[in-house]
């Protein structure tokens, strides 16, 4: 089963992970770096190119991004303690959710690919996982995953796939 899953998108925790485990199905986590946000790639809405899909996502708009960047600073503090990047820490947190949770980070640059691969060697202790579990929860992140228009497109596409 493939679903968006990351520190700042926890929807699979509601019931999907349990259902996957009951059926012996792996969960493939797409956007494990929160569309680059958890890797620190977006710090200002003006840096996004004209056709960048994130321009229409509420979490990245000028109203919500400053709040979310303050949440990212908390993640950065833990990453600094461990001597890793925020992206590596976010990927290691996903791996700590179970062997049946498989993050699939995208990358346009070889340097990012190497950074992502290095996250595979990072094993988090239970105390660190517990700290991360309390961070970036849905009530701590400003803005929805998608705009109303984007969500309508997704819902229409999902409905069409069911026919």
- pLDDT one-digit tens code per residue, 116-134: 888 888 999 999 999 999 9
pLDDT at 155 over 70: no
Mean pLDDT of 90-110: 92
DSSP 3-state percent helix, strand, coil across the chain (nearest 5): 55, 10, 35
The full set of domain ranges for the chain reads: 2-162
pLDDT at 15 over 60: yes
The chain-wide mean pLDDT, for the chain, equals 90
- pLDDT one-digit tens code per residue, 42-97: 999 888 888 888 988 999 999 999 999 999 999 999 999 999 999 999 999 999 99
Q: Can you name the CATH fold of 2-162?
A: TIM Barrel (3.20.20)
Helices first, then strands: H and E counts in the chain: 6, 3
Residue (of 119, 62, 64) closest to 93 by Cα position: 119
| Predicted local distance difference test score (pLDDT) of residue 116 | 81
């Amino acid at each position: 089963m493939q679903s968006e899953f990351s520190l700042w998108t926890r929807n699979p925790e509601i019931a999907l992970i349990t259902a996957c485990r009951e059926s012996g199905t792996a969960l493939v986590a797409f956007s494990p770096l929160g569309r680059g946000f958890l890797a620190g790639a977006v710090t200002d809405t003006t840096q996004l190119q004209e056709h960048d899909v994130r321009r229409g996502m509420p979490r990245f708009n000028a109203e919500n991004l400053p709040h979310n960047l303050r949440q990212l600073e908390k993640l950065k503090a833990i990453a600094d303690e461990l001597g890793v990047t925020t992206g590596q820490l976010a990927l290691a947190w996903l791996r700590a959710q179970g062997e049946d949770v498989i993050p699939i980070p995208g990358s346009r640059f070889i340097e990012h690919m190497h950074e992502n691969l290095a996250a595979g060697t990072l094993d988090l202790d239970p105390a660190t996982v517990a700290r991360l579990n309390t961070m970036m929860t849905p009530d701590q992140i400003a803005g929805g995953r998608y705009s109303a228009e984007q969500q309508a497109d997704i819902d229409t596409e999902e409905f069409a796939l069911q026919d």
